[in-house]
């Protein structure tokens, strides 16, 4: 039912990824948000990319999903921006399938769909809201190397000015977006990511106390990029080989840093106990988390860290780097343990402490479950997002 504070809204969301097409955390965010918006009584259409086996037009949990088959002209594989811009033409063409239905708001999720969002805004004559899930400058430690990063930064900058309201997922990201793009603070709204606890919480009571068993499993997952810090975890596992007999680690995901990460693992001599699992489905990931003694999110840069919420929702004691949005989730909650980003020695100590103390592991699980119920349900995130739409639809004086 629509909340009393805001009437029903019609929204078209553009997203480069949508389940089962999953590249990073944006897919989970748009999926959770769209379904919660529908539950609240709003009408949502998601425009995303074709995925094998998925229909081009379907309704999933009340959300209409349109998928564009991006039949591009020939473009060089290494020209990412050109390929993105060309694909956005196909995304915009999905608007023709709406028929007489017209949205009140267009919502673009990150720079990859900036062109489609801006064009749809003009064609439909409605306001554009944009969520900046991360920034290119942030991914590079506050600097912009020459070449592609500078180009992407320019597109991000343009998108924040074409949109009338901006959403960022943490206080850290709000500050970064305001500073990077020289925006008025009132234009940037804090709306965190959420998590579907029922989808992730499959661990039985008998499976919860695995932190002190033999052959404990450490699980990490996400896009395999340098800033995700998986090489730090590999070094920490190397330190723990003799401190925690039988320790194992699985790192799931795919990305451009995968060859370098494998090199780090080989150089640390932990190839026999650290497995790179590649892409895993949600079902496969849930099976891993059921077995996990702990989850580690070792990011060097993390605007939010939806994977931390997923680990907590799965009932796995969670250790995260004290950086960006991750620190905001955990700091002062006793729902997870923190370590300084990049410090493999401190990470190794946190893992060893947790594996040796099942009482502490259970305390983290209980506190994490309470935190998720209070602050990170998708219904709460949908309510906050609807308030941003209200701001976009309110005439300025």
Question: What are the distances in angstroms from CA 8 to CA 21, 39, 42, 121, 386?
Answer: 28, 11, 5, 19, 9
Decide which of 145 and 105 is more confident. Answer: 105
Upper half-sphere CA count for residue 295 (Cβ side, 13 Å): 32
According to DSSP, residue 96 is labeled G
Are both 296 and 182 inside the same structural domain?
Answer: no
Give the pLDDT of residue 384: 94
Are both 50 and 168 inside the same structural domain?
Answer: yes
Q: What is the pLDDT of residues 21-46, one digit of tens each?
A: 988 789 989 999 999 999 999 999 99
Q: Is residue 79 part of a domain?
A: yes
Q: Is residue 122 part of a domain?
A: yes
Are both 259 and 335 inside the same structural domain?
Answer: yes
Q: Is residue 83 part of a domain?
A: yes
Write the CATH number for 226.
3.40.50.2000
What does the mean pLDDT of the chain come to?
91
Question: What are the residues facing 58 on neighbouring strands?
Answer: 65
Least confident of 215-219, 299-303, 369-373: 299-303
Question: Are 200 and 310 contacting, i.e. CB atoms less than 8 angstroms apart?
Answer: yes
Three-state secondary structure string covering 2-54:
CCCCCCCCEEEEECCCECCECCCHHHHHHHHHHHHHHHCCCEEEEEEECCCCC
The percent of residues above 90 in pLDDT, for the chain, comes to: 72
Give the pLDDT of residue 397: 54
Residues, the chain: 397
- 322 pLDDT exceeds 90? yes
Average of per-residue pLDDT across 350-371: 94
Average of per-residue pLDDT across 288-296: 94
* Domains: count for the chain: 2
Helix, coil or strand: residue 276: strand
Give the pLDDT of residue 203: 63
The pTM for the full model equals 0.83
- 209 pLDDT exceeds 90? no
Are both 181 and 170 inside the same structural domain?
Answer: yes
Place of tokens 């701001």: 391
What are the backbone dihedrals phi and psi of residue 189, each rounded to the nearest 5 degrees, phi first? -110, 135
Cα(383)–Cα(50) distance, rounded to whole angstroms?
Answer: 29
Are both 350 and 324 inside the same structural domain?
Answer: yes
Are both 257 and 316 inside the same structural domain?
Answer: yes
Cα(366)–Cα(360) distance, rounded to whole angstroms?
Answer: 10
Are both 145 and 234 inside the same structural domain?
Answer: no
Tell whether the torsion through CA atoms of 374, 378, 379 and 381 is positive or negative: positive
221: tokens are 């997952």
Q: What angle do CA 106, 111, 117 make, to 5 degrees?
A: 25
Q: What is the pLDDT of residues 161-194, one digit of tens each?
A: 999 999 998 888 999 999 999 999 999 999 998 9
Average of per-residue pLDDT across 340-357: 96
Q: What is the pLDDT of residues 5-25, one digit of tens each?
A: 458 999 999 999 999 998 878
Q: Is residue 3 part of a domain?
A: no
Q: Is residue 4 part of a domain?
A: no
- The neighbour count for residue 198, using CB atoms within 10 Å, is 8
Are both 226 and 129 inside the same structural domain?
Answer: no
Cα(362)–Cα(208) distance, rounded to whole angstroms?
Answer: 8
Q: Is residue 2 part of a domain?
A: no
- 213 pLDDT exceeds 90? no
Upper half-sphere CA count for residue 167 (Cβ side, 13 Å): 27
Nearest to 289 by CA among 200, 371, 363, 196: 200
Give the pLDDT of residue 177: 95
Question: What are the distances in angstroms from CA 47 to CA 16, 89, 92, 108, 117?
Answer: 8, 12, 9, 10, 10
Decide which of 267 and 76 is more confident. Answer: 267
Band of the pLDDT at 210, cuts 50, 70, 90?
low
Upper half-sphere CA count for residue 227 (Cβ side, 13 Å): 15
Give the pLDDT of residue 357: 93
Question: What are the distances in angstroms from CA 107 to CA 65, 337, 379?
Answer: 14, 35, 18
Give the pLDDT of residue 231: 96
Average of per-residue pLDDT across 223-235: 94
- 307 pLDDT exceeds 80? yes
Q: Is residue 1 part of a domain?
A: no
Are both 217 and 181 inside the same structural domain?
Answer: no
Are both 124 and 254 inside the same structural domain?
Answer: no
Give the pLDDT of residue 3: 43
The percent of residues above 70 in pLDDT, for the chain, comes to: 95
Are both 40 and 189 inside the same structural domain?
Answer: yes
Q: Is residue 339 part of a domain?
A: yes
Q: Give the N- to C-terminal CA distance of the chain in Å, as an integer.
A: 31
Are both 147 and 169 inside the same structural domain?
Answer: yes
Question: Are 82 and 63 contacting, i.e. CB atoms less than 8 angstroms apart?
Answer: no
333: tokens are 């909650």
Band of the pLDDT at 344, cuts 50, 70, 90?
very high
Domain that holds residue 123: 10-194+377-393
Average of per-residue pLDDT across 306-324: 92
Q: What is the pLDDT of residues 108-146, one digit of tens each?
A: 999 999 999 999 999 999 999 999 998 999 888 788 888
């Amino acid at each position: 039912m629509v909340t009393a504070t805001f009437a029903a809204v019609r929204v078209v969301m553009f997203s480069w990824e949508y389940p089962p097409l999953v590249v990073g955390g944006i897919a989970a965010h748009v999926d959770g948000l769209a379904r919660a918006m529908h539950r609240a009584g709003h009408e949502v259409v998601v425009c995303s990319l074709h995925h094998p086996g998925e229909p081009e037009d379907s309704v999933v949990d009340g959300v209409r999903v349109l998928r564009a088959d991006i039949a591009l002209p020939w473009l060089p594989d290494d020209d990412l921006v050109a390929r993105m811009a060309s694909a956005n033409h196909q995304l915009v063409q999905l608007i023709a399938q709406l028929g007489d239905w017209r949205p009140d708001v267009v919502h673009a999720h990150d720079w990859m769909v900036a062109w489609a969002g801006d064009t749809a805004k003009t064609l439909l004559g409605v306001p554009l809201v944009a969520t900046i899930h991360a920034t290119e400058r942030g991914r590079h430690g506050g600097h912009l190397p020459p070449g592609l990063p500078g180009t992407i930064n320019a597109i991000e900058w343009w998108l924040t000015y074409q949109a009338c309201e901006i959403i960022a997922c943490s206080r850290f990201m709000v500050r970064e977006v305001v500073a990077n793009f020289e925006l008025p603070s009132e234009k940037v709204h804090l709306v965190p990511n959420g998590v579907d606890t029922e989808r992730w919480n499959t661990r039985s009571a008998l499976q919860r106390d695995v932190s002190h068993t033999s052959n404990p499993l450490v699980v990490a997952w996400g896009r395999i990029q340098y800033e995700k810090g998986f090489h730090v975890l590999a070094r920490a596992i190397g330190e723990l080989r003799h401190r925690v007999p039988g320790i194992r680690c699985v790192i799931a995901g795919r990305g451009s840093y995968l060859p370098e990460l494998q090199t780090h693992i080989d150089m640390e001599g932990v190839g026999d106990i650290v497995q790179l699992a590649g892409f895993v489905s949600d079902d496969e990931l849930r099976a891993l988390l059921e077995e996990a003694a702990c989850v580690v999110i070792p990011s060097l840069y993390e605007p939010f860290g939806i994977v931390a919420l997923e680990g907590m929702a799965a009932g796995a004691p969670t250790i995260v780097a004290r950086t960006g949005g991750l620190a905001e989730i955990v700091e002062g909650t006793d729902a997870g343990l923190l370590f300084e980003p990049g410090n493999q020695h401190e990470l190794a100590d946190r893992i060893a402490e947790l594996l040796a103390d099942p009482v502490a592991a259970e305390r983290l699980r209980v506190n994490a479950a309470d935190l998720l119920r209070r602050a990170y349900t998708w219904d709460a995130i949908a309510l906050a997002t609807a308030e941003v739409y209200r701001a976009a639809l309110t005439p300025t004086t």
